[in-house]
A = this chain, B = another copy of it.
Amino acid sequence: MKIGKATIPRTAICTSDEHTIVVRGADLCKDLIGRISFTDYFHLLVTGRRPDAAATAVLDATLVAIAEHGFVPSVQAARMTLAAAPDALQGAVAAGLLGCGSVILGASETAGRLFAQIHDAATAQGMDIDSAALAVLRRYAAQGMAIPGYGHPLHKERDPRVARLFEVARACGSSLAYVDIAEAVERQIPAVIGKSLKLNVSAAIPAVLLGAGFPLQALRGVPLLARTAGLIAHLTEEFQQAAGFALSYQATRELQYDGVVPAGFGEPKS
């Protein structure tokens, strides 16, 4: 069908011959296994660069912050799936990851895009970040777009993970440029939407990662990798102490059917 270059697949991640597996330019066996942590290897795989010490510290901190938060919907989906299909652990992990979409974990990426726009606006137009944040937020409001990474259904204060992630970034000497932007957004939100919304963990993650040089395009990969670790822990527990069907049972104890029923339905059979 199509002819030409676009039909030849290319990659810069990995190649191998009979003796050597090359990943991002390094010999996997000689240079990587036993010499690099999994976190640094993830950074190398995704970006092509090894992280400096600050980038390692920040990436580890975000992965730890977001890996686990109890029986969230995606964990419930994964445990129910394993209970129903125990031979296919990979299917239960996949079911859990499928719930890591725009509403839940995807906000890390969309908040990152918001911060990048503010950064670019401030740089291009020589504005201070509060003015740039206000301008970009007004554009979001005009287009009816939600502000990703701010507010929480319950907490009026910031999620405690936010302060801790900012502390880690500060302590390891990572750039705080996007932390400053994230806080400028928090300050300007009341002027745009008429009420205060505090930074949540989905905004704190891109704020520290972008400062550490992690690419915008790969931001959503961080919560996905982190949640895989949490899902594997839950599925290991599910094999030992099943909860999947119990969750399903509990979930429907107050279920209400609001459709019609045939005549005689629910009456005792005589």
Q: Which residues of A contact B (CB under 8 A)?
A: 1-2, 6-34, 36-39, 41-42, 45-46, 48, 57, 59-61, 63-65, 67-74, 76-78, 80-81, 83-95, 97-106, 153-155, 160-161, 163-165, 167-168, 171, 215, 217-218, 220-221, 224-226, 228-230, 232-237, 239-262, 265-266, 269
Contact = CB atoms under 8 A, between A and B. Distances in A.
A10 B241 contact: yes
22 contacts: A6-B246, A9-B246, A9-B256, A21-B69, A22-B262, A25-B260, A26-B262, A29-B160, A34-B61, A37-B39, A38-B229, A41-B67, A42-B67, A45-B230, A45-B232, A46-B233, A48-B259, A71-B252, A73-B245, A85-B101, A85-B102, A93-B97
Contacts of A73: 80-81, 83-84, 244-245, 248
Contacts of A71: 9, 11, 14, 248, 251-252, 255
Contact of A236 (B221, B236, B244): B221
Contacts of A46: 229, 232-233, 236
B20 A160 contact: yes
Given A8-B255, A10-B241, A33-B61, 7 more contacts: A10-B243, A14-B71, A41-B67, A41-B229, A77-B78, A84-B103, A97-B97
Given A230-B45, A246-B7, A254-B250, A74 B68 contact: no
